Amino acid sequence: MTGNQWLNTLGLIQRAGKLISGEELVTKAIQKKKVFFVLVSEDASENTKKKILNKCDYYNIPCAVKGDRSSIGRAVGKEERVVIGVGDAGFAKMMRSLIE
CA distance 78 to 61: 24
Q: Where residue 66 sits, what CATH number does that domain have? A: 3.30.1330.30
pLDDT tens column, 28-79: 999 999 999 999 999 999 999 999 999 999 999 999 999 999 999 999 999 9
Domain range for 42: 5-99
pLDDT for res 4: 85
Residue 41 φ/ψ, nearest 5 degrees: -70, 150
**Which CA distances in Å does 8 have to 46, 72, 77?**
26, 10, 11
CB 81 within 8 A of CB 22: yes
pLDDT tens column, 12-28: 999 999 999 999 999 99
pTM listed for this prediction: 0.94
Strand order in the sheet with 63-65: 19-21, 83-86, 37-40, 63-65
pLDDT band at 1 (very low <50, low <70, confident <90, very high): very low
